[in-house]
């Protein structure tokens, strides 16, 4: 009887994709989204294996994409660029709040669909209870980390400890390995990280410090069981493709039940398989997420209740500025020294108010030295990979620059007083340039990555948009400083506005146009490296991947490639600018 049911379930699972194909309008491909816990490249290879296996089972092309962080993954799901996301609990709750999600499966690790959070301290520390940590320092992971922020912070609140006042210093380590290393080095007193069941006394601190010399860590507090990562889709996609969603869900369960599939899942995320689930199993995380958000809001609203520090700082800066402008003294020597003194006082006041720990700053140089020692010898095995990413970075910068130049030139012409007689058009064009320039390149990149998903397009788009404002301003300032003689001569002879522009303005403007466009290309190459850090591909994305995996020998190769690229571009563009001058 049991064997008959198993065979029937297998037949239904195999037939379901074809039924779905017959009854539903299916997308041309399915996209699975993942966030890199440590090394994005390793994860991408394992995710590609899972995508191929899933594609073979549901008979639809499946593509795996690794995003920079969970925020990007959530936004990619909301925009429809990712159909199924592998989400940790806190981003899952965030997605539920933003657009509604349907939880399909929960991953199983070491036979359990749950894990734990723990606060860890050094074994040789004086901390033996939560109360002992009062007035100390702590390393969280990031505000979306379930085990490294949301759950432990919620438990502190539940026990009557407000983290904002309980700790004198709080930092975000970004990764669990960085957090436990910070505790080991004595940079912070405690860290919040993931943990295995309390009976095993293992977790992030035993995994990441296993091969590192130095003091060991011990857990100070454990959380209740927390539901593990979920496979989820949007409610909209689930309503539009119910059979396909069911097919994907059953196929992933089947993958976890096969030897080959379990091997892929273990390489992917140390996963043994999946069990069916729903959003109700994440109620604890939802409560913790809500409580920590409310606590953060209260902490932010009360942060500047006493404005005396801000007033004193403002008065010191104002006095320094007035003295520097000569408004408060007619004796130049006394004026300069007084302005310098007030500025120095304002600087010291700002440093004290910001709680900049100079002792920690000095101590940190030892850690920088250790980091630099880890960068040598360089890992030259990744040269080919770095070169490929470098070429992609140059392509992004080139396409972004060329795409932005036409609109930048148009705005420059419309903004120049000696080209456009209408004051209204000039003011509107200049406002457009200034508005464009006021938004940082990194912000534009983050917006485009969230809207379109990680890839080359957000990088090209961000560079093109930023090029328009920056070059537009340079163009119109250059146009307004040109010799007016040829223009006036042509106008006196009755030349049309187009003829004046073509023969009176353009010949003078061409060398400046080429020089400024080449310089903008140089800046965009550097910008493309930074954009890679937020998921826009290229060498910056590679750098982020190696840093997350603590592969510092590979980081050295990336830095060397960036230095060589920038120097080469500077030499070539300088030569071209001289030739067009």
Please list the rounded mean pLDDT of every run of 10 residues in the chain (581 residues).
41 46 78 79 89 96 88 87 94 91 95 96 96 95 90 95 92 87 92 95 93 92 96 96 96 95 92 94 94 73 50 64 55 68 71 62 66 85 91 92 96 93 94 92 84 78 94 94 88 86 89 90 89 76 72 89 89 79 63
Predicted pLDDT of residue 548: 63
CATH of segment(s) 380-580: 1.10.3720.10
Predicted pLDDT of residue 199: 93
In terms of Cα–Cα distance, which of 273, 558, 245, 247 is closest to 388? 558
- Domain 114-227 indexed as CATH 3.30.2350.10: no
**Cα 570 to the chain's mean position, in Å?**
28
Compute CA distances 68 → 39, 117, 211, 463, whole Å. 11, 23, 27, 19
In terms of Cα–Cα distance, which of 451, 517, 537 is closest to 79? 451
Residues in the chain: 581
DSSP per-residue letters across 344-378: HHHHHHHHHHTT--HHHHHHHHHHHHHHHHHT-S-
Predicted pLDDT of residue 414: 95
The rounded radius of gyration (Å) of the Cα atoms in the chain is: 29
- Domain 2-112+228-287 indexed as CATH 3.40.190.10: yes
Question: β-strands 137-140, 169-172: how paired?
Answer: parallel
**Rounded CA gap, 273 and 266, in Å?**
9
**Rounded CA gap, 542 and 559, in Å?**
11
Question: Would you call 136 exposed, middle or buried from its count of C-beta atoms within 10 A (0-12, 13-18, 19+)?
Answer: middle
Residue 571: which H helix or E strand, with range?
Answer: helix 552-580
Predicted pLDDT of residue 11: 44
Kindly give, in sequence order, each residue whose CB lies less than 8 Å from that of residue 327, ignoring residues fewer than 6 positions away: none
Q: Return the beta strands (E) in 45-202 as ranges.
A: 62-66, 84-87, 101-108, 114-122, 137-140, 169-172, 190-195
Which tokens go with 437?
């320039």
**Rounded CA gap, 329 and 336, in Å?**
9
DSSP per-residue letters across 507-541: HHHHHHHHHHHHHHHHHHHHHHHHHHTTT--SHHH
Instruction: Kindly report the pTM of this predicted structure.
Output: 0.68
Walk across the sheet containing 101-108 and list its strands: 62-66, 30-34, 84-87, 230-234, 101-108, 273-276
Write the DSSP symbol of residue 431. H
């Amino acid at each position: 009887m049991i064997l008959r049911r198993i065979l029937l379930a297998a037949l239904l699972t195999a037939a379901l994709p074809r039924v779905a194909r017959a009854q539903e309008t299916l997308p041309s491909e399915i996209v699975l989204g993942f966030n890199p816990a440590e090394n994005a490249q390793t994860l991408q290879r394992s995710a590609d294996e899972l995508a191929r296996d899933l594609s073979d089972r549901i008979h639809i092309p499946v593509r795996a994409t690794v995003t920079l962080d969970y925020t990007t993954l959530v936004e990619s799901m909301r925009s429809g660029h990712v159909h199924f996301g592998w989400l940790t609990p806190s981003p899952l709750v965030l997605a539920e709040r933003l657009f509604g999600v349907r939880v399909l499966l929960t991953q199983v690790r070491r036979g359990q669909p749950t894990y734990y959070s723990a606060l860890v301290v050094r074994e040789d520390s004086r901390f033996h209870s939560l109360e002992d940590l009062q007035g100390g320092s702590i390393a969280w992971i990031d505000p979306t980390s379930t085990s490294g922020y949301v759950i432990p912070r919620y438990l502190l609140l539940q026990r009557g400890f407000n983290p904002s006042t309980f700790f004198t210093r709080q930092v975000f380590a970004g990764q669990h390995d960085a957090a436990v290393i910070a505790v080991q080095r004595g940079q912070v007193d405690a860290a919040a990280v993931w943990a295995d069941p309390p009976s095993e006394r293992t977790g992030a601190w035993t995994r990441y410090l296993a091969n590192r010399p130095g003091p060991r860590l011990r857990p100070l507090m454990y959380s209740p069981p927390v539901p593990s990562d979920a496979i989820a889709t949007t409610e909209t996609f689930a309503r539009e493709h119910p059979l396909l969603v069911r097919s994907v869900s059953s196929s992933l369960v089947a993958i976890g039940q096969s030897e080959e599939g379990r091997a892929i899942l273990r390489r992917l995320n140390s996963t043994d398989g999946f069990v069916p689930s729903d959003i109700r199993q994440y109620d604890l995380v939802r409560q913790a997420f809500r409580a920590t958000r409310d606590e953060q809001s209260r902490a932010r609203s009360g942060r500047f209740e006493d404005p005396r520090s801000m007033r004193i700082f403002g008065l010191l800066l104002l006095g320094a500025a007035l003295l520097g402008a000569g408004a408060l003294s007619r004796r130049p020597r006394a004026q300069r020294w007084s302005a310098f003194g007030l500025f120095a006082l304002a600087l010291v006041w700002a440093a004290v108010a910001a709680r900049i720990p100079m002792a920690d700053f000095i101590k940190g140089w030892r850690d920088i030295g250790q980091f630099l020692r880890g960068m040598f010898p360089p890992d030259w095995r990744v040269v080919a990979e770095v070169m490929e990413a470098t070429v992609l970075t140059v392509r992004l910068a080139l396409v972004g620059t060329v795409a932005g130049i036409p609109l930048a030139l148009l705005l420059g012409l419309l903004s120049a007083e000696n080209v456009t007689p209408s004051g209204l058009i000039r003011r509107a064009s200049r406002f457009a340039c200034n508005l464009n320039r006021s938004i940082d390149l990194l912000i534009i990149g983050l917006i485009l990555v969230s809207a379109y998903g990680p890839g080359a397009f957000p990088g090209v788009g961000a560079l093109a948009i930023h090029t328009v404002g920056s070059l537009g301003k340079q163009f119109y300032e250059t146009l307004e400083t040109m010799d007016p003689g040829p223009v006036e001569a042509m106008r006196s002879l009755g030349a049309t506005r187009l003829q004046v522009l073509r023969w009176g303005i353009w010949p003078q403007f061409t060398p400046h146009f080429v020089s400024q466009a080449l310089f903008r290309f140089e800046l965009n190459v550097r910008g493309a490296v930074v954009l890679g850090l937020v998921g826009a591909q290229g060498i910056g994305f590679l750098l982020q991947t190696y840093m997350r995996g603590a592969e510092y020998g590979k980081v050295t190769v990336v830095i060397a490639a960036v230095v060589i690229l920038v120097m080469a571009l500077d030499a070539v563009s300088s030569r071209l600018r001289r030739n067009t001058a």
